[in-house]
């Protein structure tokens, strides 16, 4: 039990992201409202972003910008002093992707709403069945 709690505490960042992600996933599967599903999707994507960003952390590292800027060629840069920039770069991309997906999803949602005047999936399906 002690080990378990230790593991839980030492890797709490992963637990948090997984919990968040599962909330998103659950919303996407279980929710009936199309917009709530989109919200779930965003939570899901954000959780992954959190996960990636947490990979980049280094204890004792600072943000990945070299302080002295130009003229610092003589200055020796140690990798341990700066956090890992790569996950941040990747997540910039992921953020953009999630924004783009959100845009398209909303556009689709609007089209559905204009046609059926509701965003509840079961109501839409029953309207389709009636036809």
Partner 1 sequence: MKITGLIIAVLTGALLIYATADFPAWGDPASPASTHVSPRYIEKTIEETAVPNMVTSVLADYRGYDTMFETTVIFSAGVACFLLLRIFRREEPEERLYRHVLTGVTIHVKKGGKLPPSDDFERIDTEWTPHDLIIKTMCRLLIPFIQLFALYVIAHGHHSPGGGFQGGVMLGASVIVLAMSQDLRTAVRRLREKVDALLCATGVFIYAGTGALCLLLGADFLNYRALAPLLNVDPIMARSHGIFIVEIGVGIAVMATMIWIYSNVSSSGKYDEGL
Partner 2 sequence: MSQHYPTLLVTVPLLAAFIISAAGWINKRLCFPFAVATLTVAAYSCVGLLFRVLHEGVVHYRLGGWPPPWGIAYYVDQLNGLVLSVISVSALINLIASKRSIEREFPEKIGPFYTLYVLFVTGMLGITVTGDAFNLYVLLEIGSLTGYALIAMGDKDRAPLASLNYLYMGTIGACFYLLGVGYLYIVTGSLNMVDIASILPGLYQSKAVMTAFIICMVGMWIKMAFFPLHGWLPNAYTFAPSASSSLIAPLMTKVMIYVMIRFILTVFTPKFAFSTLAVSDSVVWLAVIAIVMGAIFALAQRDLKKMLTYIIVAEVGYMVGGAWLGNRAGMTGAILHIVNDALMTLCAFLVVGNIVYKVKGYSFEDLKGLFSKMPFTMGAFVIGALSIIGVPPTCGFFSKWYLISGAIQASHYGFVVALLFSSLVNVVLFFRIIEIGYYEPFGDHHGHDHHPEPMAEAPLSMLVPLFIVAAGLVLVGLYTGDIVNHIIQFVIPKGLL
74 binds partner 2 (CB under 8 A): no
List residues binding partner 1 (CB under 8 A).
7, 10-15, 18-19, 21-23, 25-26, 28-30, 32, 54-61, 63-70, 72-73, 77-82, 84-90, 92-93, 96-97, 99-101, 103-104, 106-108, 110-111, 114
Q: Tell me how far apart the alpha carbons of residues 84 and 86 are, in angstroms, rounded to a whole number.
A: 6
Burial (CB count <10 Å: 0-12, 13-18, 19+), residue 91: buried
> 66 CB contacts (<8 Å, ≥6 apart)?
72, 75, 77, 82
Residue among 16, 20, 28, 39 that touches partner 2 (CB under 8 A): 28
> 42 CB contacts (<8 Å, ≥6 apart)?
24, 98, 102
Binding site for partner 2 (CB under 8 A): 25, 28, 34, 37, 41, 44-45, 48, 51-52, 55, 86-87, 90, 93-94, 97, 100-101, 104-105, 108-109, 111-112, 115, 124, 128, 131
């Amino acid at each position: 039990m002690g080990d378990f709690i230790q593991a839980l505490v030492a890797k709490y960042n992963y637990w948090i992201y997984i919990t968040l992600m599962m909330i998103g996933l659950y919303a996407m599967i279980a929710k009936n409202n199309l917009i709530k599903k989109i919200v779930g999707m965003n939570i899901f994507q954000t959780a992954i972003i959190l996960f990636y960003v947490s990979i980049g952390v280094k204890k004792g590292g600072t943000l990945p910008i070299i302080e002295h800027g130009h003229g610092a060629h003589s200055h020796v840069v140690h990798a341990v002093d700066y956090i890992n920039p790569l996950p941040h770069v990747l997540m910039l991309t992921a953020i953009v992707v999630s924004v783009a997906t959100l845009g398209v999803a909303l556009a689709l949602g609007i089209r559905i709403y204009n046609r059926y005047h509701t965003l509840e999936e079961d109501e839409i399906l029953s309207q389709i069945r009636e036809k």
